[in-house]
Amino acid sequence: MAKSKGIGDVIANVTKAIGIEPCKGCEKRRNILNRLFPFKNVNQPTDEQKDLINSNPTDEQLIELYNDIFNSSLDKESFTINIKTKVINDLNKTL
């Protein structure tokens, strides 16, 4: 069984296990749910990345670190103060 990408895959696996055959609409919903509710695939930060997290990284460095560690596509345009706070908290949890 392939690794689930999000909640859509979980629902698809459960419905298949109880005997419900998927249709085209099911596949479309699965993809939409996976995009809306993905699972975080977290990479272990390298020692260099840990050092950078513990220093005072720039916004650009925070974005790059977050994208590398969380397989994300965060960009500068969506990097508000609230997002920055969450990014810092998430990165600190990886230490």
pLDDT-based confidence at residue 2 (cuts at 50, 70, 90): low
Instruction: Note if the pTM is more than 0.85.
Output: no
Rounded Cα gap, residues 29 and 57, in angstroms: 39
Secondary structure, 3-state, 39-71: CCCCCCCCHHHHHHHHCCCCHHHHHHHHHHHHC
Tokens encoding 31: 């993809």
Cα–Cα distance measured from residue 26 to residue 78, given in angstroms and rounded to the nearest whole number: 31
| pLDDT, greater one: 1 or 22 | 22
Q: How confident is the model at residue 83 (pLDDT cuts 50, 70, 90)?
A: very high
Residue 6 bridge partners (DSSP): 38
Domain ranges in the chain are: 7-36, 47-93
SS3 28: helix
Give the 3-state secondary structure of residue 1.
coil
- Which tens digit of pLDDT belongs to each residue from 4-43? 788 999 999 999 999 999 898 999 999 998 888 888 778 9
